[in-house]
Amino acid sequence: MSSIIDGKAIAAEMRQEMAQDVEKLTAVGTTPGLAVVLVGDDPASRVYVSMKEKACAATGIFSDEHKLSAETSEEELLALIDRLNNDSRIDGILVQLPLPDHIDENKILDAILPAKDVDGFHPYNVGRLATGNPLFRPCTPYGVMKMLEHTGVELAGKEVVVVGRSNIVGKPVALMCLAANATVTVCHSRTRDLEAQVAKADILIAAVGRPEMIRGAWVKPGAVVIDVGVNRVGEKKLVGDVEFEAAKERASAITPVPGGVGPMTITMLLYNTVESARRRAEAK
């Protein structure tokens, strides 16, 4: 029987520490500021933005919300980002995805100053991560690394298998594990004999976006399982990418869904914002 890695508890501990850091920065005249831009009325995005606003308030971060109509033009959105880039109160800019179809997401993300790209999606920041000199790490994979750190999992020399190759999770978490001296295999939906690849993992990171695609019986006894997937099954049930009930009988530690990686994503967004504010304070 595995131990359950409690993402809520780790996130809460980190937010308490951040609140103290924010208090110290504010005392010397630098209040961390996060601008959040929401275009349109996507229900999931609205919920997520609301959670970010509450998290900022709880940690003392200045939250600058911009809720725009779905008819907002690409030019208008670019103009807003330009203003935020030049706003000295703002340390981080987050544009909530997805954007309406008439707006080029890549153009918008590329317009954010790399020094304020607290999501870590700008090509400059992706390149720095790939070359081992990161400025900002993407929030969800960075959260995965913090969970492993808080759980006392040593990556050096371990076999890490990442299932999923997205730019948001799979690729960056693989780079971070490599930087921590793990041996990393990246798999995906077209990998041949996925079972055999999963079976060799000392640490399994699942981020493929398919409900319970990875069977519990595939998990190596004693492995650590980090399940990034959040999949809706039926009207109310949420499941991960790993068959949780079977996997927890074999793993030494495993994240639940929900309550595992999810709480860490917003926490790392705040963490990156505070780091950006610290750099601003040091540059004064």
Are 251 and 151 in the same domain?
yes
Distance between CA atoms of 48 and 266, rounded to whole angstroms? 9
Asked if 270 and 59 touch (Cβ cutoff 8 Å), the reply is yes
Q: Which of 182, 195, 110 is nearest to 153 (CA)?
A: 182
**Which residues, in sequence order, are bridge partners of residue 242?**
214
Task: Please say if 200 is a catalytic residue.
Answer: no
Identify the active-site residue in 6, 119, 202, 241. Answer: 119
The CB-side HSE value for 116 (13 A sphere, CA atoms) comes to 25
Average of pLDDT values for 137-145? 97
- Assess whether 146 and 98 both reside in one domain: no
Dist. CA 86–CA 72, nearest whole Å:
21
> What CATH code is carried by the domain that includes residue 106?
3.40.50.10860
Give yes or no: residues 146 and 241 share one domain.
yes
Tell me which DSSP letter residue 49 carries: H
Answer for the pair 231, 239: CB distance below 8 angstroms, yes or no.
yes
Answer whether residue 156 is part of any domain. yes
**Phi, psi values for residue 149, rounded to 5°:** -65, -45
Considering the domain architecture, whether residues 161 and 235 belong to the same structural domain is answered as yes
Q: Is residue 3 part of a domain?
A: no
Residue 8 annotated among the catalytic residues of the structure: no
Sheet-wide strand order for 33-39:
62-68, 33-39, 92-95
| 166 and 241 inside one domain | yes
| Cβ atoms within 10 Å of 166's Cβ, excluding its own | 17
Q: What is the mean pLDDT of residues 189-194?
A: 93
User: pTM of the prediction?
Assistant: 0.94
Q: Write the single-letter amino acid at 234.
A: G
168 and 90 belong to one structural domain:
no
What is the C-alpha to C-alpha distance for residues 181 and 179, in angstroms, rounded to an integer?
Answer: 5
Q: Active-site residue 119, yes or no?
A: yes
Q: Does 183 lie in the same domain as 100? A: no
Mean pLDDT of 240-251: 96
Residue finishing a domain among 95, 113, 131: 113
CATH number at residue 148: 3.40.50.720
pLDDT digits (tens, 9 = 90+) for 86-128: 999 999 999 998 999 999 999 999 999 999 999 999 999 999 9
Is residue 166 domain-shared with residue 205, that is, in the same domain?
A: yes
| Annotated catalytic residue, options 6, 52, 116, 197 | 52
- Find where tokens 């601003």 sit: 280
DSSP code for 242: B
User: Do residues 237 and 166 both lie within one domain?
Assistant: yes
Residues comprising the chain, all counted = 284
Tokens of 114: 């790399």
Give the whole-angstrom CA distance, residue 243 versus residue 213: 7
Residue 1, pLDDT score: 67
| Residues forming beta bridges with residue 163, ordered by sequence position | 187, 206
Mean pLDDT of 230-255: 92
The closest alpha carbon to 270, from 78, 73, 51, belongs to 51
Residue of 96, 197, 202, 220 marked catalytic: 96
Whether the CB-CB separation of 94 and 52 falls below 8 Å is answered with: yes
Confidence grade of residue 18 (pLDDT, cut at 50, 70, 90): very high
The percentage of residues in the chain with a pLDDT greater than 70, rounded to a whole number, is 100
Summary mean pLDDT of the chain: 95
Section 242-258 average pLDDT: 96
Check if the beta carbon of residue 61 is closer than 8 Å to that of residue 44. no
Residue of 97, 87, 45, 138 lying closest to 108 (CA atoms): 97
Half-sphere exposure of 86 toward its Cβ, with a 13 Å CA cutoff? 5
Split into its structural domains, the chain has a count of: 2
> Is-contact 197 216, C-beta < 8 A?
no
Q: Can you give the pLDDT at residue 109?
A: 94
Asked if residue 197 lies in contact with residue 176, where contact means CB atoms within 8 angstroms, the answer is no
The domain containing residue 174 runs over which residues? 139-262
